[in-house]
Amino acid sequence: MTLGKGTIGLGVCVCALLGAVSASAQVEVSVTLSGSVEEMLPILQHLRDMGFGDAADIEVSGGDEALRMSVHSVMTGDESAPATEDPEALVAPDKLALFNAKFDPATAKAGGNALLTVSVNDPDKQVDTVAATFRDVSDRTLDLFDNGTQGDRTEGDGIWSRRVPVLPTLQAGQHVLEISTFDVDGQPLAQEDGAPIRTDAVLTVTK
């Protein structure tokens, strides 16, 4: 329903709607109002006077007091809903980093497989190898690839991948894979403070 700014137009529209149904019928009306606070105050007061809503729904006041309503908001112009924090936005563009490590699917049955991916920010081209190691499985380290093979979708896009077999011997539950980076000499790459550059991905195994 489109309403004018004046209270007369509002009253005519609402009364016309109510007159179209029986007195015992229950009607739900959705109304969109736009304008300044000064323009809205008389309209809201008119709604209260007509018996719509209650003190909890519509609270009308003037001067410096706050205006409170029960409403559904609609964003226009430059307003936008808060976005989910993007891990890539937190990565300094000039720093080596691993982020967004995950399995697809995140849950897999023993005997199946899951695609492990991790994004690598490597501005100085230091990374020669990216490897993932099961923390709870001895001697099981897997190399990841960014060459379009082994499950990697796009060569050279900075997303390293590996289709990981979910061995039948893996127990049901969560298994953490620690992902690390190495240079061409096989040495672990580290941050400026000496901390190794690595991240974790979690795979949930079901039977």
pTM: 0.57
Indicate if 119 and 149 belong to the same structural domain.
yes
Indicate if 60 and 94 belong to the same structural domain.
no
Whether residue 83 is contained in a domain is answered as no
| DSSP annotation string for 35-91 | S-HHHHHHHHHHHHHTT-S-TTTEE---TTSPPEE-------TT--PPPPPPGGGGS
pLDDT tens, 96-144?
A: 999 999 999 999 999 999 999 999 999 999 999 999 999 988 778 999 9
Whether residue 75 is contained in a domain is answered as no
Whether residue 43 is contained in a domain is answered as yes
Indicate if 119 and 52 belong to the same structural domain.
no
Q: How far apart are CA 89 and CA 70, in angstroms?
A: 35
Question: How many domains would you assign to the chain?
Answer: 2
Whether residue 179 is contained in a domain is answered as yes
pLDDT tens, 90-108?
A: 777 789 999 999 999 999 9
Domain span at 45: 7-69
pLDDT tens, 147-199?
A: 999 999 999 999 999 999 999 989 999 999 999 999 999 999 998 889 999 99
Query: At 200, which CATH number?
Result: 2.60.40.10
Whether residue 186 is contained in a domain is answered as yes
Q: How far apart are CA 158 and CA 143, in angstroms?
A: 15
Amino acid identity, residue 21? V
pLDDT of residue 73: 39
CA distances from 43 to 12, 40, 54, 105 (A): 12, 5, 15, 53
